[in-house]
Amino acid sequence: MRTVSVVIGTRPEAIKMAPVIRALQAHPGLDPVVISTGQHRQMLDETLDAFGLAADIDLQVMAPRQTLSQVTARILNGLEARLPGLGADALLVHGDTATTLAGALAGFHHGVPVVHVEAGLRSGELSSPFPEEGNRRLVGQISALHLAPTPANRANLLCEGIPDETIVVTGNTVIDALRWAGEHAVEYGDPALRDLDEDPRRIVLASAHRRDAWPQLAEIAAAFRRIADEPCTRVVIPLHRNPAVRQAILPVVAGHPDITVTDPLPYLSFMKLLKRADLIVSDSSGAQEEGPALGKPTLVLSEVTERSEAVVAGTAKLVGKTTERIVAATLELLRDPVAYDRMAGAANPYGDGRAARRTVDAVACFLGLGDRPEPFVPETPVDQFAAELARSADYERHAPQPTL
């Protein structure tokens, strides 16, 4: 039996790793140990509970108003005290958070091979999103196994000199989670949304919370308010708990009769809201994957994205952070059925619901317990997605064209 440590700390990590943890538990040769850093305290526990899971170890690192450096240091110290006694054969981290970076560093320092789930995402700009882009690039340099969701993510890794034999294209585990949640979501989780199923208005699911968006949050909130002025339109904002986000957005949107503000919703409730929504306006990384998977046109509040596949496919669009651009793009979809249907009908490039199985098979193969899994291939022609991020002169000079 091989021991696999799984380090998670945020709600998105819990969502995307829950199917992986379940698949690890079902594997006869693998024994997962789930370590929670507690980076998102309440939301993490709620999400794991929704999947019928719980952490084996809780580092409880959160303290009020910690800096990124402080929380990273506390996670490292917590793992320093727990990792040596686990005898882990591999350590899984996900994505690009402080938990991801600290978990990978701790594994690297202790000689435990690091497996990076959701590897290879790149925006091309170190400051956007911040600090996520820097975190995932750093983790990529010390990982032993890179589990890339898409062929384009694999191309990014090849461009950076990562050996092809250490990369497996798995699909994104968020699609596995989404399919499971669709069968279990029964309520919206907030009294303010109780009437949503009977509401004839078009529902715009709106959110903004990323650190690189903080200087523009008031302008983004003004866009949400103007969108709500559109006839027969209701804007629902599950508002992030961060005080900086709340202080910027709440004063702008408060009191509008067609804006509903809630606290962050439990995962299953949020999935029900996502299915009810007509379109999404958000800077959330998860929304850029979940929206396209559900056929929901998704407007991304950024100038760049690490998830370019949905933009190339046509189901997502970059609209920046200015009020005018956000409003113009949203109203076009609300007023033009042809434009709306064009985005709603675009293909989902992110997964087929079997990413967790491929992830665990790849880990088992890495540990000598099975064969390398067949890679995920999107239903749409994959060369357009890979080419989008693999055309740089550096890539063409130093790496062969990937076989997709």
Residue 286: pLDDT band by 50, 70, 90 thresholds?
Answer: confident
**In what helix (H) or strand (E) does residue 300 lie, and over which residues does it extend?**
strand 298-300
- Indicate the range of 6-10, 22-26, 75-79, 264-268 predicted with least confidence: 264-268
Mean pLDDT confidence for 83-89: 95
Q: Reduce the DSSP state of residue 366 to 3 states and report it.
A: helix
Reported as a pLDDT band with limits 50, 70 and 90, residue 372 is very high
Confidence of residue 203 (pLDDT cuts 50, 70, 90): very high
User: Which listed residue (118, 212, 283, 309) is catalytic?
Assistant: 118
Q: Which two three-digit tokens encode residue 281? A: 């306006």
Known active-site residue 80: no
Please state which of the ranges 96-100, 139-143, 312-316, 367-371 shows the lowest mean pLDDT: 312-316
Annotated active-site residue in 89, 132, 219, 361: 132
212 as an active site residue: the answer is: no
Does the pLDDT value for residue 273 go beyond 70? yes
Query: From the candidates 13, 46, 96, 219, which is the catalytic residue?
Result: 96
* Among the ranges given (237-241, 255-259, 380-384, 391-395), the one the predictor scored with the smallest mean pLDDT: 391-395
* Max CA distance (Å), the chain: 61
In the chain, the percentage of residues whose pLDDT exceeds 90 is 76
Task: Give the N- to C-terminal CA distance of the chain in Å, as an integer.
Answer: 33
pLDDT digits (tens, 9 = 90+) for 224-248: 999 999 999 999 999 998 899 999 9
Three-state DSSP state, 340: helix
- The string of DSSP letters for 190-254 reads SGGGTTGGG--SEEEEEE---GGGGGGHHHHHHHHHHHHTSTTEEEEEE--S-HHHHHHHHHHHT
| Structure confidence at residue 312 (pLDDT) | 87
- Whether 211 is catalytic is yes
Best CA proximity match to 80, nearest among 37, 57, 100, 109 = 109
CA atoms of 264 and 238, how far apart (whole Å): 5
* Least confident interval from 106-115, 117-126, 392-401: 392-401
The residue to which tokens 């034999």 are assigned: 165
pLDDT of residue 380: 60
Q: Is the pLDDT of residue 392 over 50?
A: no
Q: Is the pLDDT of residue 382 over 90?
A: no
Question: Which residue among 240, 307, 354, 357 is the active-site one?
Answer: 240
Whether 240 sits among the annotated catalytic residues: the reply is yes
Nearest to 334 by CA among 286, 289, 299: 299
Residue 26: partners with Cβ closer than 8 Å, 6 or more residues away = none
Of 243 and 166, more confident? 166
Long-range contacts of 255-261 (CB under 8 A, 24+ apart): 256/225, 256/228, 258/201, 258/228, 258/229, 258/233, 258/234, 259/224, 259/225, 259/228, 259/234, 259/235, 260/192, 260/193, 260/234, 260/235, 260/236, 261/192, 261/237
Confidence at residue 43, expressed as pLDDT on a 0 to 100 scale: 80
Nearest to 309 by CA among 288, 294, 326: 288
Q: Active site includes 394?
A: no
Q: Is 225 among the catalytic positions?
A: no
**What H or E segment, with its residue span, contains residue 262?**
strand 259-262
Is the link from the previous residue into 402 a cis peptide, with omega within 30 of 0?
A: no
**Quick one: what percent of the chain has pLDDT higher than 70?**
94
**3-state class of 336 per DSSP?**
coil
Quick check: 359 pLDDT over 80?
A: yes
Q: What is the pLDDT of residue 401?
A: 37
User: Of the listed 2, 136, 154, 209, which one is catalytic?
Assistant: 209
- Quick one: pLDDT at residue 390? 42
Question: Cα separations (Å) of 7 from 19, 94, 136?
Answer: 14, 8, 15
The reported pLDDT for the residue numbered 21 is 98
